[in-house]
Amino acid sequence: MIEENLKSLLERIEKSCVRSKRKKEEIQIIAVTKRVPLQRMVEAIECGLKNFGESQVQEAKEKFESLQSSYPFLKWHMVGHLQTNKVNRAVEIFDAIQSVDSFKCMQAIDRRASQLGKVQGCLLEIKVSEEPTKFGLREDEVQKILDESSSLKHIYLKGFMCIAPYFDDPNKAKPYFSKTYDLFNRFFLKSSLKIDEPVLSMGMSHDFEAAIEEGSNMIRIGTALFGERY
């Protein structure tokens, strides 16, 4: 079932790329496996998926410990909100923390990464709507944190992430994606950070096509690969 889901996901990605005159190779898929059991993750790995997203540190840690020795090539992405008291364990597991939303959080990550002799990949989460349940940085906070981040030697800031509000018609999410794309261009790509492959992580099962058409190069897909979560 994952194999078929992946096939149709790839076809839809390709169509969005054709519509927006982009290359499908530019789009990375993060398979979001929160509340997805190990067995199905293994199935996904056998289909060739390597990038996994989790939203809770404890769940990720358990899965990481079960899979790491057999599949050391996997990349783990933290996509959920990161509480300060979970930073230490998060840095032990994740290749990328996509939900950095304050300098305080970044400093805590830097401190732990330094202890572990690691440079931690991170994305800044951008708050695109006023919904109280959403986290992230506002436009007027972005420049400051980019400047501050350059002093942290154990942080590798690779780009931005956003979560658009839900609309029945996913095309309605486009203004939120294009806003983030604009901030990514104006602030991240213009900053002094030297990044080989800048990441703009936008789009989930419901709205990834709209996100790709507005410039996303990393989509985070759960339901469309694994089915509904319970």
Ligand X SMILES: *Cc1c(COP(=O)(O)O)cnc(C)c1O
Looking at the chain, list the stretches that DSSP marks H as alpha helix, in order from N- to C-terminal side.
Answer: 2-19, 38-46, 57-67, 87-93, 103-116, 139-149, 174-183, 208-213, 223-226
Q: Please, what sign has the CA dihedral across residues 156, 160, 166, 167? A: negative
Which residue has its beta carbon closest to ligand X? 222
| 180 binds ligand X, rule: CB under 6 A | no
Of the two residues 152 and 210, which places its CB atom closer to ligand X in the complex?
210
Q: Provide the token pair at 130.
A: 């006023």
| 79-98 positions binding ligand X, by CB under 6 A | 79-80
Cβ neighbours for 131, distance < 8 A, ≥ 6 positions apart: 165
Q: Please provide the DSSP assignment of 171-215 as one string.
A: GGGHHHHHHHHHHIIIIITTSS---SS-EEEE--TTTHHHHHHTT
In angstroms, the CA 134 to CA 170 distance is 18
| 32 binds ligand X, rule: CB under 6 A | yes
In angstroms, the CA 77 to CA 28 distance is 12
Of the two residues 133 and 192, which places its CB atom closer to ligand X in the complex?
133
| 136 binds ligand X, rule: CB under 6 A | no
| 204 binds ligand X, rule: CB under 6 A | yes
| 147-166 positions binding ligand X, by CB under 6 A | 163
| 223 binds ligand X, rule: CB under 6 A | yes
The distance of closest approach from Cβ of residue 145 to ligand X in the complex, given in angstroms and rounded to an integer, is 19
| 170 binds ligand X, rule: CB under 6 A | no
In angstroms, the CA 80 to CA 85 distance is 14
Of the two residues 143 and 205, which places its CB atom closer to ligand X in the complex?
205
Tell me the window of 58-66, 127-135, 169-177, 203-211 that interacts with ligand X (CB under 6 A): 203-211
| 40 binds ligand X, rule: CB under 6 A | no
| 55 binds ligand X, rule: CB under 6 A | yes
- Contact indicator for 54, 79 with CB cutoff of 8 Å: yes
Tell me the window of 6-14, 42-50, 172-180, 220-228 that interacts with ligand X (CB under 6 A): 220-228
Of the two residues 8 and 115, which places its CB atom closer to ligand X in the complex?
8
Task: Give the footprint of ligand X on this chain (CB under 6 A).
Answer: 32, 34, 55, 79-80, 163, 204-206, 220-224
